[in-house]
Amino acid sequence: MPHPARTAIVTGASRGIGAAIARRLAADGFQIVVNYAARPEAAEQVVRSIIQAGGRAYAILADVSDPAAVAVLFDQTELEYGGVDVLVNNAGIIQPGLVDLADTSEALYDRIFAVNTRGTFNTMKLAAQRLRDGGRIINFSTSVVGLALPGYAAYAGSKAAVEAMGRVFAKELRGRGITVNCVAPGPTATELFLDGKDAETVARLANLAPLQRLGQPEDIAGVVAFLASEEGGWINGQTLRVNGGIV
């Protein structure tokens, strides 16, 4: 009998790195759920681009910080495709510029942790019950955790928690054949990253890496695709800092 097609949920996939991941996994043969919390037109454009390239994709609205919305995300994915094999926790937010810990408001702290940390917790919790055996969970952190840059305390803290939860979760899924890993990009040329930065700042950040350029969304998507593949099956409980050698 033919092997059933594999299905991947990519959260925050309407633009930037998430959109690149969705397109790459679709090219690798996955059926894709393009999750989004805003910008439905952008999400539908990603879906159209995948379908036009010969793949299968479906857009689902869900705020990952809301457990009920995450349950609907899994429900709709199973109705559309029959199950879930790969979960890519790409959805996240960054700080609006540099904000020292002493100046971080409770509202900003709560918002960052709600999406970056609680959102990943919510999806992993459901994945423990509903991901098919042999699946893959790929979380997202940031190389800021390794760099410990001043002005990013709340953001780095939210992602450090994701790294720690993933390492523990990988051990808790013993016996299922499911891997849990984390990808931690450095500066990457996306709309979200470039917004509000002048040319001098962008050039300085690009020069941090020995390779002397910004990452591209496709650089990150390639690493995610490897972790989602059979060839990536022996990597488990790890954080891969995909940043051109910054840290």
Angle between helices 67-81 and 119-130 (to 10 degrees): 40
Give φ, ψ of 108 to 5 degrees: -65, -45
Are residues 161 and 182 in contact, defined by beta-carbon separation less than 8 angstroms?
no
CA–CA distance, 54 with 121 (Å, rounded to integer): 33
Alpha-carbon distance 97 to 190, whole Å? Answer: 15
Count other Cβ atoms within 10 Å, centred on residue 68: 10
- Judge residue 229's burial from the number of C-beta atoms within 10 Å of its C-beta, 0-12 exposed, 13-18 middle, 19 or more buried: middle
- Told to judge if 155 belongs to the known catalytic residues of this protein, a careful annotator would answer yes
Give me the torsion for CA of 81, 87, 93, 94, rounded to 10°.
-150
Q: Indicate the pairing of strand 7-10 with strand 239-242.
A: unpaired
Active-site residue, selected from the candidate residues 36, 58, 81, 155: 155
Q: Where are the beta strands (DSSP E) in 68-153?
A: 84-89, 131-140
Active site residues: 155
